[in-house]
Amino acid sequence: MEGEAPVRMVTQSWLALYAVDGLLLAWVGLAPASSVSVLLLGLAGLGMALLAVATPRVPARVVGPTLAVVVWRLLGAMPLSAYTWGTPWFSRSDGLVQLTVGALAVAAWIRLGDTQDRPSFDWRRSLGRLGVGLLGGTVALVAYVWTSWTVGMHLLTRGYVGANGSGITVAERTFERSGTSVHLVGMIHVGEASAYAAIHEGFCALEDAVVLTEATPGQPASTNPYGSVADALGLAKQPDVPDCGPKVVPADIYAEALSERTNAHVDAALDALDGEAGAWSALSGTPDPELFREVVDLRNEGLLHVLREHQDDFRHVVIPWGAAHLPGVEAHLLAEGWELTGEQHTVLIRYATVLMGAPTVNGPGASTADP
């Protein structure tokens, strides 16, 4: 009993802390991974995990699921947070999950009863728990990241960004009406230089074409702020559209059209991407769906205005914009009677390039048309 009491008290304290945090999260409503509470809970969970490895008297079936939920919250509670984005449930859904798992853990703890019949230390069991935790945790983490990224990108871009066995892909969808084609080309602002060249080669070959770029009139060339991110990943930042035949028309809105609050947030994001560590503090806190809608939807309105000005003057209109913009643009095209007639995908970032820095050649052959 002497060795049992401290272990039992620590386990009960962990379950109590876990339950109170989940209750506050569900009641007050905090964005996943944005509150101090999840960081503190993560530190406490680390101690609880070490104790579970050290002694068999900590029941893994009780604390294991609670620790998994803490890791899930630290990673942003994806993909649940992606589904609840922009809804009243966004800031409370992970708290409800935590409360549910906590209730099940307490029920399992009550059914299990005392664990005093177990030895206070068993090196074989400790090694077994450590091995299972490391191996299972690694596999689960890889599966989790892959699933969360895939679901998140699908919800955000509706398939304009995806993945296959070779790497991360971007889609180009063609819409036609009355002899005119609109090409929506999903873009990520960092990728492989040869992939960007292949995409540009595709629309440079179009005759009687105009390219509506994600830039404002008079904006200087090469203002892409993602250079530091590209360098860290061994990639290139998205280049400017080359002067290769089609007319190039800036189609973005001026910063003055955005609210002061949105401009401040955008400036902080650009500073953070440029490597200024202090800028990340300005981006902390609860993500704001309204801010996202202004950055995306308001700029889409400006783009659609420019599109309507040029769609009757050219046979082809190419729109190579950030992939998050294109689902909204596509919805407007379909509503106005444009018909989807084709889709193709290009591998923009190969896994080998990011993971091993392997040189790759991603020419036109990397694009494959869907049947």
Same domain, 204 and 81: no
pLDDT at 311: 94
The listed range with the strongest mean pLDDT (82-96, 125-139, 164-178) is 164-178
pLDDT, one tens digit per residue, over 289-318 is 667 777 888 899 999 999 999 999 999 999
Domain limits at 347? Answer: 159-369
Q: Is the pLDDT of residue 127 over 80?
A: yes
Same domain, 210 and 319: yes
pLDDT at 273: 61
Q: Which residues, other chains included, contact 101 with Cβ-Cβ below 8 Å and sequence gap of 6+?
A: 65, 66, 69
Domain stops at, among 156, 172, 199: 156
Name the phi and psi angles at 33, rounded to 5: 65, 15
How many structural domains are present in the chain?
A: 2
pLDDT-derived band of residue 177, with 50, 70 and 90 as boundaries?
very high
pLDDT at 11: 87
Q: Which residues, other chains included, contact 9 with Cβ-Cβ below 8 Å and sequence gap of 6+?
A: none
Same domain, 151 and 257: no
Same domain, 75 and 203: no
pLDDT at 333: 97
pLDDT at 221: 47
Same domain, 101 and 233: no
pLDDT at 224: 59
Please state, rounded to an integer, the average pLDDT across all residues of the chain.
82
Distance CA 144, CA 157 (A): 19
> 359 is written with which tokens?
């040189």
Name the phi and psi angles at 134, rounded to 5: -70, -50
Same domain, 328 and 363: yes
Same domain, 43 and 190: no
Domain stops at, among 122, 156, 190: 156
Same domain, 266 and 206: yes
pLDDT-derived band of residue 367, with 50, 70 and 90 as boundaries?
very low
Same domain, 136 and 164: no
Q: Is the pLDDT of residue 276 over 90?
A: no
pLDDT-derived band of residue 174, with 50, 70 and 90 as boundaries?
very high
Residues in the chain: 371
Percent of the chain exceeding pLDDT 90 equals 33
Choice between 222 and 160, residue whose per-residue pLDDT is larger: 160
pLDDT at 287: 55
pLDDT, one tens digit per residue, over 63-76 is 999 999 998 888 88
- Position 38: which residue type? V
pLDDT, one tens digit per residue, over 184-203 is 999 998 999 999 999 999 98
Among the listed residues 291, 288, 297, 324, the one whose alpha carbon sits nearest the alpha carbon of residue 153: 324
Q: Is the pLDDT of residue 155 over 50?
A: yes
pLDDT, one tens digit per residue, over 209-243 is 999 998 876 655 455 567 777 887 889 989 989 98
Same domain, 74 and 113: yes
Tell me what the mean pLDDT of segment 24-29 comes to: 74
* Contact in structure between 265 and 294 (CB atoms under 8 Å): no
Return the beta strands (E) in the chain as ranges. 161-163, 167-177, 180-187, 190-191, 209-213, 236-237, 247-250, 316-322, 339-350, 367-369
pLDDT at 66: 93
Same domain, 181 and 137: no
Same domain, 82 and 163: no
3-state helix/strand/coil string of 24-62? HHHHHHCCCCCCHHHHHHHHHHHHHHHHHHHCCCCCHHH
Distance CA 186, CA 330 (A): 11
